């Protein structure tokens, strides 16, 4: 692995860790506001990535590094603990807690889009000739702006992906828990008890992995058409 790939990997990891930390910290904060202090007492209502890495070292350190070395992109996971009894007692609060993680990714996606547009207005960024996941914006000149373009490109793409994937309505993803907001409290409790079965979680992940490519491609294209109005990318 050459120095260019190592540098790109470092940018990838910084964005990955930022995105994951904001996601899990938002879950923890929403749970605290809803009355469950489990994650708060474990120190996860924080944007410091260390507590999140300590809780899930495999998903936050090892898997991202391996996935980048093998595929050139990063995948991984984190988790925020919660009290199952609290979830059953307050299913709607638990649903808001579930939505808080993807909401954080949407905020980061919007920040990246605004920063890209601001960079274009300042003349330091420009639309690329062709788009890739880590090449949504291009630097107008060589230098530090190339790193900025890469950082914002990955921030844009990765957080769009994380928000969309986690909102899929299948266990064990956040979107499955968020469905409880559309139900009565009693129905939400029964639904949560049903979908908490580990076999459903495994099946849900397989389904999501299979269908997500069909969902993300048009979503990514739509996001680009809004970011670069009047420019068509294939």
Q: What is the pLDDT of residues 1-51, one digit of tens each?
A: 588 889 999 999 999 999 999 999 999 999 999 999 999 999 999 999 999
Task: Flag whether 113 is in a domain.
Answer: yes
Mapped onto helix, strand or coil, the DSSP state of residue 126 is strand
Q: Name the region of 131 (left: φ>0; alpha: ψ -120 to 50; beta: rest).
A: beta
Task: Flag whether 110 is in a domain.
Answer: yes
Domains: count for the chain: 1
State yes or no: cis peptide before 172, omega within 30 of 0. yes
Q: Distance from CA of residue 168 to its chain's centroid?
A: 12
User: Rounded to two decimals, what is the model's pTM?
Assistant: 0.95
Give the Cβ contact number of residue 129 at 10 Å: 8
What pLDDT, in 10s, does the model give residues 99-112? 999 999 999 999 99
Please write down the long-range contacts of 122-130, taking CB distance under 8 Å and 24 or more positions apart. 124/148, 125/149, 125/152, 127/228, 127/231, 130/233
Which domain, by its residues, includes 106?
A: 3-227
Task: Flag whether 234 is in a domain.
Answer: no
Q: How far apart are CA 49 and CA 44, in angstroms?
A: 9
């Amino acid at each position: 692995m050459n120095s260019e790939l190592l540098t790109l990997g470092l940018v990838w990891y910084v964005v990955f860790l930022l995105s994951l930390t904001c996601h899990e910290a938002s879950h923890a904060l929403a749970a605290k506001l809803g009355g469950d202090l489990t994650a708060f007492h474990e120190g996860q209502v924080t944007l410091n990535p260390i507590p999140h890495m300590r809780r899930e070292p495999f998903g936050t350190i090892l898997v991202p590094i391996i996935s980048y070395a093998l595929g050139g992109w990063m995948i991984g996971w984190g988790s925020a603990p919660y009290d199952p009894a609290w979830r059953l007692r307050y299913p709607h609060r638990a649903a808001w807690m579930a939505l808080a993680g993807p909401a954080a990714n949407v905020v980061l996606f919007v920040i990246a889009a605004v920063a890209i547009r601001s960079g274009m207005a300042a003349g330091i960024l420009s639309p690329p000739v062709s788009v890739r996941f880590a090449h949504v914006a291009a630097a107008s000149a060589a230098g530090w702006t190339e790193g900025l373009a890469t950082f914002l490109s990955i921030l844009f793409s990765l957080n769009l992906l994380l928000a969309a994937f986690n909102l899929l309505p299948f266990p064990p993803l956040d979107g499955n828990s968020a469905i409880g907001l559309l139900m009565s409290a009693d129905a939400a409790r029964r639904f949560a008890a049903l979908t908490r079965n580990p076999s459903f979680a495994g099946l849900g992940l397989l389904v999501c992995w299979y269908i997500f490519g069909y969902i993300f491609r048009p979503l990514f294209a739509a996001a680009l058409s809004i970011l670069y109005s009047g420019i068509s990318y294939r």
